[in-house]
Amino acid sequence: MSSNLGMATGELQQMHVEGGGESLWREALKRLLRDKIAVFGGIVIVLLVFVAVAAPLITPHKPHDQAGNGTSAYGMPLPINSWGKKLTLELKAPVERELIIPPNVIYVTPQGEEFTARDNITFKPGEKTLTVPVNPVSPAMAKAQGGSMLKLENADDLNLPVASAQLLNDKLFLLGTDASGRDVLSRLIFGAQVSLQVGVIAIGLAVVIGTVLGLISGYFGGWVDTVIMRFTDIMMAFPDLLLVMAIVAVINPSQLGNSDRALDKILNGFFGIAALAGITPEVIFICIAISIVSWTQYARLVRGQVLTIREMEFVEASQSLGAKSSYIMFRHILPNVVAPIIVVATMGVAGAIMTEASLSFLGFGVKVPTSSWGSMINDGLGYFRDAPLIPLIPGLAIAITVFAFNLFGDGVRDALDPRLK
């Protein structure tokens, strides 16, 4: 009987175009590759995936490291393409007893840039040379030329036996730093990990939940269909973002897995496995929250498709051969509703990324030290006038990612549209 059921499935699974003898999926792939805009979106997505996977290898700094010389003397972030600075002090002779140079000493370059040390500079007995991090008085002064000899403005007043002071470049910050002295480029790259993890995992869960419920609702009909669809209507009545915020606020992952209960032991094991893939507990629960509010569109989509397909002859043939309902749904009907699911899911990833960014911006998303584009925008808002690129750069990353998924999703939709064959 299995051979007869396989033949029944073949009616839609192995559709062929006239004259070409090629399958529907192969023809759709050809149409997709001819769509230059969709290919461009796909290339951007591939590059984002590469950046996210290779993040630990390509980032110039650790995303959560707070560089002591990563801000100005007054805590302002450094501009793009600037260096963290360090100072090499040489005394006239090794000190016989401990010498402390206070942080109010100002070191000035020949061009007039001023630098200070945040803490006391302490020479131990016998030391003559010491290198310490310093901070520019103004963020723009971080672009001062490395190797410059410095003059101590008030060295004579303090009777400091300093022979020379030289300014050196320490760490390069291509996109500048934030107010905590963290490298913006490194945080931006690691933020791509969170965005793609949430987009793929959340929509994957939503597709599974929505597809199963849609298949059951459309195939069985009757009171089963009524119950599932009314529950779907109730879920769709709530604003998505507010419902996600409520779920994330109620489920605090930091409070889970911290006891000897059996459930917490299971969660600890699950979190450990997820950690191997670089997925934090916060990301897992955000994915679950987003999937809870996102499955409804897939359930309604699949139900509509199933209502049409279940009346076709190959389904009736399977039923007459005595196939089980589960077999018919997943072996015969499901393959014929995959195309619209792929289209909606591709665009749904963009929506999930936007939702995660919104949650992080509002303080409901991933927590420090995990990098997130939404939290980067929030951190930079207070410095928008003086350092507008801090919130604009992650905002641009979100826009490019969402735009790429939308372009690719449009191309997939057009490629799978049978009317365009």
Could you report the per-residue pLDDT of 73-112, keeping only the tens digit for each? 888 999 998 999 999 988 888 888 888 888 888 889 988 8
**pLDDT at res. 1:** 40
- Name beta bridge partners: 130: 89
Give the C-alpha separation, 336 to 20, whole Å: 21
By the 8 A CB rule, do 210 and 298 touch? yes
* Segment 12-30 mean pLDDT: 58
Element (H, E) at 89: strand 82-91
Residue with tokens 């070409």: 20
By the 8 A CB rule, do 372 and 357 touch? yes
**Residue-wise pLDDT tens digits, 198-249:** 999 999 999 999 999 999 999 998 899 999 999 999 999 988 888 888 888 7
* Segment 393-420 mean pLDDT: 87
By the 8 A CB rule, do 151 and 107 touch? yes
Give the C-alpha separation, 279 to 195, whole Å: 11
With 0.85 as the threshold, say if the pTM is over it. no
Whether residue 19 has pLDDT greater than 60 = no
Domains of the chain, CATH where assigned: 2-57+182-420 (1.10.3720.10), 82-173 (no CATH)
**Residue-wise pLDDT tens digits, 139-173:** 989 888 888 888 887 666 667 788 888 999 988 99
Residue with tokens 């996102």: 294
Residue with tokens 């791509």: 192
* Segment 347-365 mean pLDDT: 90
* Segment 342-358 mean pLDDT: 92
